[in-house]
Amino acid sequence: MYYVSEAKLTNSKTDLLNHYHLKAPPEIFMTPIISNESSGNRVTFQSAMKLTMIIGQFFGLIPVIGVSETDTSKLRFRLLSWRFAYSLISIIGQGSLVCFCFLKLFTDSNPNLSANASLVFYSTNCVTSILFLRLALTWPRLNQQIAKSESSDPNRDKTLVKKCNISCILVLSLALVEHLLSDLSGLAGAIDCHQGTSVAEAFITGGFPWIFNYIKYNHIIGAVVQFINIQFTFNWNFSDLFVICISLYLTSRLDQVNRRIFAVYGKFAPLSFWRTMREDYSRLTYLVRRVDDAIGGIIFISFANNLFFICLQLLHTLTDGINATPSCRVGEPDERPLRGYEQATYFVYSFGFLIARSLAVSLIASRVHTASREPAQALYFVPSTAYCVEVQRFLDQIHGDTIALSGLQFFNVKRGLVLTIAGTIVTYELVLMQFTGVTPTPPPSTVTVPILINTSRFTNNL
C-alpha cells in the first residue's frame, strides 16, 4: 500500500516522487513526466493519422497542407493551392454525376428503390466529399488543440501508429479487391455481349448507360467518368476508415488515463491524485467532444450509407438469390473467366465486406464510450479512508456525462448500437418486402442478375 500524507504534498509531481522515494512509480499520483529522455517515445495524433491523410489526399479529400509533417504548426488550409483546386474539381465532377442520376430519376418510366440505388450511392458520397472539405477548414486548429493536450500528457501507446496503418492498409486493400471484382464482372459482360465494339467503350457505357444516353461517348469523357466513380467508391470506404483511426486514437488516450487510475485500484491515494486524474479525464472528454463536433456529419453519413445498402443487398438476396449470369451468345462457347459467376462472386464478396466493415466501425468507435466509463470501476473500490469530494465529483462526471462519438448528436456510438442496427435492418427488411411484394421463397427457374453495389457495375441492372 502506498500512503502519502496530505500535509507533505507538493504541487510538483517530480518532487513528490523524489520525496517518497518511489522507485518504480507505476503512474501513481502522477501524469507522465515530460523529459528529454522520454520525448522520443511520444505518439502524436499527427503521426497516427499520417498515412490515412496522405492516401485520402490522392483522391481529393481533406486538402490540407503539411499532413506529412510532424509539427502541427505547419498545417495550413489554403484556397490558393493545388490540393484545394483538385478537391474542388473532384466535387464538381461528382456533382455532375449526381445531376445525371436525378435526370434519370425524372425520366425513368418505372422508378423504384432498386432503380434509384445509384442516386443514393452517388449523392451520399458526394456529400461525404463536401464534408471532408468542410473538415479541412478546421483540421489545422483541431490538430493544434490535440497537440497542446499531448504536450501536457503525452501519449505513449507505441502500438497506436501500427494499429492505424494496419487498419488503413487492410480496409483499402479489401476495397481494392472489391473494385477489381466489380471491374471483372463488367469486363466479362462487355466481352460477352458487345462483340465487334471496343471493349473499353462497351465497359464504360455499359456501366453508365444513364450518362451516355444523353452525351456522346469518347475516351476522354469515359476515363473521367471512370475516375470519378473510383473516387465515389473510395469515399465510401475512406469515411469508415477515417472514423476507425480517429476512434483508435481517442481510445488510446482514455486508456492511458485508465491505466493510471487502475494502478491504485483498492489502494490509498491522496485527494491531489484524484484531482489530477479528474482534470486529465476532463481534458480528454473535452477533446472527444471537439473531435465529435468536427466529424459528426461524416459518422452520420457513414452509418446511414452502410445501413441502406445492407438492407438493399439483403433484399435482393431474398428476391433473386445468387445465380450465374446467362451468356448473351447462346450456343457458343462461354469465354467468360468464371463462366457467368463474375457478378455472383462480386456480390457475395461485396456483401460480406460491407457487413464486416460496418461491424468494425461500430465496435471500434464504441470503445471510446466504453473507455470513458471504465474509471468508475476503480472509483467504487476507493478505501473509505481515502474517499473524498474529488472521488465523488469524478463519479458524478462519469455517470452524468455521455462521452462518445455521435452522428450529429442523433445517436451515440455505443456497444448497444450494433444490436439496434441489427433490429433496424430486420424491421426495414420486412417493410421493404411488404412494399415490393417479395416473399423469401426459392429462386425461380429463370436466371436473374443481382443488383451490384458500390461501383459502376451495379448501374447495369438499374
**Three-class secondary structure assignment of the chain:** CCCCCHHHCCCCHHHHHHHHCCCCCCCCCCCCCCCCCCHHHCCCHHHHHHHHHHHHHHCCCCCCECCCCCCHHHCECCCCCHHHHHHHHHHHHHHHHHHHHHHHHHHCCCCCCCCCHHHHHHHHHHHHHHHHHHHHHHHHHHHHHHHHHHHHCCCCCCCHHHHHHHHHHHHHHHHHHHHHHHHHHHHHHHHHHCCCCCHHHHHHHHHCHHHHCCCCCCHHHHHHHHHHHHHHHHHHHHHHHHHHHHHHHHHHHHHHHHHHHHCCCCCCCCHHHHHHHHHHHHHHHHHHHHHHHHHHHHHHHHHHHHHHHHHHHHHHHHHHCCCCCCCCCCCCCCCCCCCCCHHHHHHHHHHHHHHHHHHHHHHHHHHHHHHHHCHHHHHCCCCCCCCCHHHHHHHHHHHHCCCCCECCCCCECCCHHHHHHHHHHHHHHHHHHHHHCCCCCCCCCCCCCCCCCCCHHHHHHC
pLDDT over 70, % of the chain: 79
Q: How far is CA 314 from CA 6, 207, 320, 357, in A?
A: 63, 22, 10, 16
In this structure, are residues 379 and 414 in contact, taking their beta carbons and an 8 Å threshold?
no
Question: Which residues does 317 contact at the CB level (< 8 Å), separation at least 6?
Answer: 351, 450
Residue 330: the pLDDT is 66
As a whole number, mean pLDDT of residues 78-98 equals 92
Q: Which residue matches cell numbers 476522354?
A: 220
pLDDT surpasses 90 at 89: yes
* pLDDT surpasses 90 at 35: no
Asked if residue 3 is part of any domain, the answer here is no
Q: Is the model's pLDDT at 22 over the cut of 50?
A: no
Is residue 21 pLDDT above 80, yes or no? no
Give the pLDDT of residue 425.
82
Binned at pLDDT 50, 70 and 90, residue 254 comes out as: very high
Q: What is the mean pLDDT of residues 327-349?
A: 74
Q: What is the mean pLDDT of the chain?
A: 81
Higher pLDDT, residue 286 or 1: 286
CA pair distance 337, 356, nearest whole angstrom: 27
Q: Which of 189-198, 255-264, 293-302 has the lowest mean pLDDT?
A: 189-198
Question: For position 16, what pLDDT does the model report?
Answer: 40
- For residues 214-225, give the mean pLDDT: 88
Which pLDDT value is given to residue 313?
A: 83
For range 158-183, the mean pLDDT: 93
Q: How confident is the model at residue 137, as a pLDDT?
A: 93
Quote the domain boundaries for residue 288: 42-461
Q: What's the number of domains the chain is made of?
A: 1
Does residue 359 lie within any of the structural domains? yes
pLDDT-based confidence at residue 318 (cuts at 50, 70, 90): confident
Q: What average pLDDT does range 298-308 have in this prediction?
A: 92
User: The C-alpha cell of 86 is what?
Assistant: 483538385
Q: Residue 51: its pLDDT value, please? A: 93
129 Cβ neighbours under 8 A, 6+ residues apart = 60, 61, 87, 90, 91, 94, 231, 235
CA–CA distance, 64 with 137 (Å, rounded to integer) = 8
**Which has more confidence, 37 or 54?**
54
Amino acid 354 reads L
Q: Is residue 120 part of a domain?
A: yes
d(CA 141, CA 75): 9
Do the domain assignments include residue 10? no
275 part of a folded domain: yes
Residue 397 near residue 442, CB atoms below 8 Å: no
Residues in the chain: 462
Judge whether 65 and 78 are in contact, CB under 8 Å: yes
Q: Which residues are bridge partners to 65 per DSSP?
A: 76
Lowest-pLDDT range of 110-114, 188-192, 371-375: 110-114
Nearest to 436 by CA among 109, 120, 113, 106: 113
Rounded to an integer, what distance in angstroms lies between the CA atom of residue 117 and that of residue 205? Answer: 18
Q: Is the pLDDT of residue 170 over 80?
A: yes
Question: Which cell is 90 given?
Answer: 473532384
In-domain check, residue 447: yes
Question: What does residue 141 show for φ and ψ, rounded to 5 degrees?
Answer: -65, -40
Give the pLDDT band of residue 71 (cuts 50, 70, 90): confident
In this prediction, residue 13 has a pLDDT band, given cuts at 50, 70 and 90, of very low
pLDDT at residue 64 is higher than 60: yes
In this structure, of 21-35, 135-149, 240-254, 268-282, the range with the lowest mean pLDDT score is 21-35
Is residue 28 domain-resident? no
Q: How far apart are CA 78 and CA 80, in angstroms?
A: 5
**96 or 336: whose pLDDT is higher?**
96
> Which cell numbers in the block locate residue 32?
507522465
Largest CA distance in the chain: 96
Residue of 236 and 437 predicted with greater confidence = 236
Among 105-114, 140-149, 345-354, whose mean pLDDT is lowest? 105-114
Distance CA 299, CA 305 (A): 10
Phi, psi of 184 (to 5 degrees): -60, -45
Q: Please state which of the ranges 49-58, 134-143, 161-170, 193-202 shows the lowest mean pLDDT.
A: 193-202
What cell does 431 get?
Answer: 417493410
Q: In Å, how far are 125, 212, 215, 415 from 111, measured between CA atoms?
A: 21, 19, 22, 37
- Whether residue 453 is predicted with pLDDT greater than 90 in this model: the reply is no
The answer to whether position 30 is within a domain reads: no
Query: Band of the pLDDT at 252, cuts 50, 70, 90?
Result: very high
pLDDT score at 25: 39
pLDDT at 27: 41
